[in-house]
Amino acid sequence: METKEQKREKENDNMIFGLRPVIEALKAGKEIDRLFVQTGLKNELFGEMMGMLKKHNVPYQYVPLEKLNRLTMKNHQGVVGYISSIEYHKIQDVLPQVFEKGKMPLLLILDRITDVRNFGAIARTAECSGVDAIIIPSRGAAQINADAIKTSTGALHKIPVCREENLKQTIEYLRESGLQVIACTEKTTDNYYQIDFTLPVAIIMGSEENGISSEYMKLADAHAKIPLMGEIGSLNVSVATGVMLYEVVRQRLTE
């Protein structure tokens, strides 16, 4: 089992800090997974960096100096971030390619899945079941780090991950493109096997703490639940995702 020090060293391999290094990383086309910026920071170089963050839609969060100092005691200049272990895609680029290949689209939308190992396990199942892309929000999603990639057994290097700034707009785009959007939730009377998954589809899975956001629930074309026969109220989200995806596989194989 890894020690805390080993985990910290592994994470530090992807760490980047300092205004100029962040700017140069962005200019070099590096994907930044998370960025923490000191509250109240202001200078010319900071303004240049913020302009580039907005241009490249990089998610960032204002934090107190104390948090940055806990991440690293080196000269961070008020900025600490992590380079992503994968290359992100845009669903507007991925979906047309799926149609061009003559495939029946199967997309997976993850709403605030923050547990790294759950995310990795979901990615592994998604790749095995033929998912064409995983869509995540730019904020409130698990960091795709070494642990996530290891848990996915490399699937995160094989399946496109689309990090989208606005999931509402993304869902609307998918519906306009001819996909039915299915929300997996216990707050419905319709069982998952009653849904026609032979059509182009995007499945939304929500966080174990809060489920799917009400805004996205309203946008979904249908809601589907997995029947539970025991006393525990829900399945682990990676297990639930597997159930949903392999119902798609079952229906499409027997079509």
- Indicate the domain borders of the chain: 4-83, 91-253
Bridge partner list, 161: 134
pLDDT digits (tens, 9 = 90+) for 148-202: 888 999 899 999 999 998 999 999 999 999 999 999 999 899 999 999 999 999 9
Query: What pLDDT shows up at residue 213?
Result: 94
Q: How many residues does the chain have?
A: 255
Class of domain 4-83: alpha beta
Longest CA–CA separation in the chain, Å: 62
User: Which two structure tokens, joined as six digits, stand for 141?
Assistant: 């999603």
Q: Do 212 and 206 form a contact (C-beta atoms < 8 A)?
A: yes
Reported as type and span, the H/E element at residue 82 is strand 79-83
- Residue 33 has a pLDDT of 85
Residue 154 backbone class (left: φ over 0; alpha: ψ -120 to 50; beta: rest): left
- The single-letter DSSP state of residue 30 is P
Matching residue, tokens 């997996």: 184
pLDDT tens digits along 15-61: 999 999 999 999 988 888 889 999 999 888 999 999 999 888 888 99
pLDDT digits (tens, 9 = 90+) for 110-140: 999 999 999 999 999 999 999 999 999 988 8
CATH 3.40.50.2300 fits 91-253, yes or no: no
